[in-house]
Amino acid sequence: MNNYELMVIFTPVLSEEEFKTVQKKYADFIIENGGSITHSNPWGLKSLAYPVQKKTTGIY
């Protein structure tokens, strides 16, 4: 089986509870489609290299 890496950057305006909900939604999507998650390492709020949709930070 091939291993793939996925990084998702969420909008910085999410509360901690909203972040966990959206993170679980992505994890459930992967599992429902036959994938598995072997490691998860949230980085927290980080600066973006350039603005995306007028935001300069994101939750990694």
Pairing state of beta strands 55-59 and 45-52? antiparallel
Per-residue confidence (pLDDT) for residue 1, from 0 to 100 = 77
The top-level CATH class assigned to 1-34+41-60 is alpha beta
Q: Is the pTM of this model over 0.85?
A: no
Average pLDDT, the chain: 94
Under DSSP, the state recorded for 47 is E
Q: What is the mean pLDDT of residues 18-46?
A: 94
Domain boundaries, the chain: 1-34+41-60
Burial 12-34 (b: 16+ CB within 10 A, else e): eeeeeeebeeebeeeeeeeeeee
The Cα–Cα gap between 58 and 48 comes to 7
